[in-house]
Amino acid sequence: MTEEGVSRQLSRDSKLSATYPPAQQTEQKDGSPKAEVSRPPWGLVWRSSIWFITLAVGLGVTTDILVYSMIVPIVPFRLQNLGYEGVSGLVGWLLFAYSAALVVSTPPIAYLSEKYKNRKVPLLCGQFALIGSQVLLMEAPTFAVMVVARIFQGISASVIWVVGLALVCDTVPETIIGKQLGFVMMGMTLGFLVGPPVAGALDDRFGFRGPFIFGVIVTALEFIGRLLIIERKDAIRWDASLTGLVGNSSRERAYGATAMDAEKRDEEPCNGATTRPTDEENGTAGEPARPPAANEAQQQPLSIVGLLVTLLKSPRAMGPVFLTFIFGLIVTSQEPALPLYLQSTYGLDVSKVGLVYLAAVIPSFFSAPLSGWYADRGGTVASTLVCAICTVPFYILIFIKGPLVYFLVMFAFLNFFSSALISPVTAELAAVTRSLDGVGYGHSYGAFNVAYGIGSAVGPVIGGQLYDHVGRGWMAISLFDLGMILVGIVIVVCFFGERPVLKRAVSYWLRGRGFVNEHDQNQTHDVAA
Q: What is the pLDDT of residues 76-85, one digit of tens each?
A: 777 877 778 7
Buried b (16+ CB within 10 A) or exposed e, 294-305: ebeeebebbeee
The arithmetic mean of pLDDT across residues 506-519, rounded, is 70
The torsion angles phi and psi of 302, rounded to 5 degrees, stand at -70, 150
The arithmetic mean of pLDDT across residues 205-234, rounded, is 89
Q: How far apart are CA 174 and CA 430, in angstroms?
A: 9
Percent of the chain with pLDDT over 70: 76
Handedness of CA 38, 44, 50, 52 (dihedral sign): negative
At residue 522, the pLDDT reads: 52
CA-to-CA separations, 37 to 116, 171, 240, in angstroms, rounded? 21, 22, 15
- Which of 319, 361, 68 is closest to 186 using CA atoms? 361
Kindly report the CATH class assigned to 42-240.
mainly alpha
Q: Where are the domains of the chain?
A: 42-240, 302-513
Q: How far apart are CA 99 and CA 454, in angstroms?
A: 6
User: Apex CA 527: angle with CA 426 and CA 506, to 5°?
Assistant: 70
Whether pLDDT at 290 is above 80: no
Query: Which pTM was predicted?
Result: 0.67
At residue 500, the pLDDT reads: 85
Whether pLDDT at 284 is above 60: no
User: Apex CA 371: angle with CA 366 and CA 374, to 5°?
Assistant: 125
Please report which confidence band the pLDDT of residue 243 belongs to, taking 50, 70 and 90 as the band edges: low
Q: How far apart are CA 330 and CA 387, in angstroms?
A: 14
The torsion angles phi and psi of 475, rounded to 5 degrees, stand at -65, -40
Residues in contact with 222: Cβ distance below 8 Å, sequence separation at least 6, in sequence order: 59, 60, 62, 63, 127
- Segment 445-478, tens digit of pLDDT: 888 888 888 887 788 889 888 988 888 889 999 9
The mean of the pLDDT values for the chain is: 76
| Cα torsion through 324, 325, 327, 329, rounded to 10 | 170
- Segment 28-44, tens digit of pLDDT: 444 545 544 457 888 88
- Segment 93-110, tens digit of pLDDT: 887 788 788 888 888 888
The torsion angles phi and psi of 355, rounded to 5 degrees, stand at -70, -30
> Helix, strand, coil shares of the chain as percentages rounded to 5?
75, 0, 25
Domain 42-240 shares a fold with domain 302-513: yes
- Name the superfamily (CATH) of residues 302-513: MFS general substrate transporter like domains (1.20.1250.20)
Of the listed ranges 113-122, 264-273, 484-493, the one predicted with least confidence: 264-273
User: How remote is the C-alpha of 449 from its chain's centroid?
Assistant: 8
At residue 3, the pLDDT reads: 42
Q: How far apart are CA 128 and CA 216, in angstroms?
A: 10
At residue 510, the pLDDT reads: 80
At residue 247, the pLDDT reads: 44
Whether pLDDT at 188 is above 90: no
- Segment 317-340, tens digit of pLDDT: 888 999 999 998 998 888 888 888
Whether pLDDT at 300 is above 70: no
* Most confident listed range (258-272, 280-294, 424-438): 424-438
Q: Using omega within 30 degrees of 0 as the cis cutoff, is the peptide bond preceding 21 cis?
A: yes
Please report which confidence band the pLDDT of residue 279 belongs to, taking 50, 70 and 90 as the band edges: very low
| In contact, 29 and 181? CB cutoff 8 Å | no
Whether pLDDT at 376 is above 80: yes
Please report which confidence band the pLDDT of residue 219 belongs to, taking 50, 70 and 90 as the band edges: very high
Whether pLDDT at 180 is above 90: no
